[in-house]
Amino acid sequence: MNPPFATRHSLQVKNLSCFRDDRLLFEGLDFTVENSQVLLLEGKNGSGKTSLLRIICGFREPDDGEILWCGNAIEESDFLAQMAYVGHLDGVKKELTVKENLNTALALSQPGKYTLDQALYKVHLSGYDNTLVQSLSAGQKRRLSLARLLITSNVLWILDEPFTSLDKDGIRLIESLMHEHVTAGGMIILTSHHDLVLHESYVQKINLSPCH
């Protein structure tokens, strides 16, 4: 039986540079991420980690360089259909219920291996289907954003500080979800100040802080 992401994918970043407010954040950045790989972006606050994620997602243009998805420019490929982004903000609509939020996410993507009920059980939100998101705690909102990843079939997860607002159980939960995703052939790019509990063969690291 083939794994869920048996088709080969690759994200290639070439000679990428980024300025913010006339300050150089990084330049000449090169890396490739393929199936069953995790890229951990490290660096001090303000070193450009979130800016790099936003460039990869296509939310802003790089000042130099290019990003290729399976050999093609991301805007000329199916990259957006294959990518899921969870940022500092949870990206959930507070005026909707938990289930309504998940249905909205599902309408914008292809269904994944988990049903809505299975995903809510996986992230410990069973029974919250009809609860308004504005009533959830910060940790529960974070879990809901993770449930969105489980119900869709995006091969590439881009996560900006995914452990924010999570307790120890929540951290173990997302680590298990990440392990499940990469062993199935998925890809992850993330920023985190938390040490990853993933086999080193999966993980490559880039530190954006200057050496001096």
Chain segment 57-86, per-residue pLDDT in tens: 999 999 999 999 999 999 999 998 899 998
- CA dist 25 and 43 (Å) reads 11
pLDDT score for 211: 53
pTM for this model (two decimals): 0.90
Domain ranges for the chain: 10-207
In which region does residue 161 sit, left (phi positive, over 0), alpha (psi from -120 to 50) or beta (all else)? left
Instruction: Using a pLDDT cut of 90, give the percent of the chain over it.
Output: 63
| pLDDT tier, 2 (very low <50, low <70, confident <90, very high otherwise) | very low
Per-residue pLDDT at 31: 96
Q: Pick from 152, 202, 201, 197: which is nearest to 182 by CA?
A: 202
Q: What pLDDT sits at residue 212?
A: 43
CB 14 within 8 A of CB 30: yes
Domain spanning 10-207: which CATH class is it, in words? Answer: alpha beta
* Confidence (pLDDT) at 87: 84
pLDDT digits (tens, 9 = 90+) for 91-145: 788 999 999 999 998 887 888 889 999 999 999 999 999 999 999 998 899 899 9
Read off the pLDDT band of 22 (50, 70, 90). confident
Q: What mean pLDDT value characterizes the chain?
A: 89
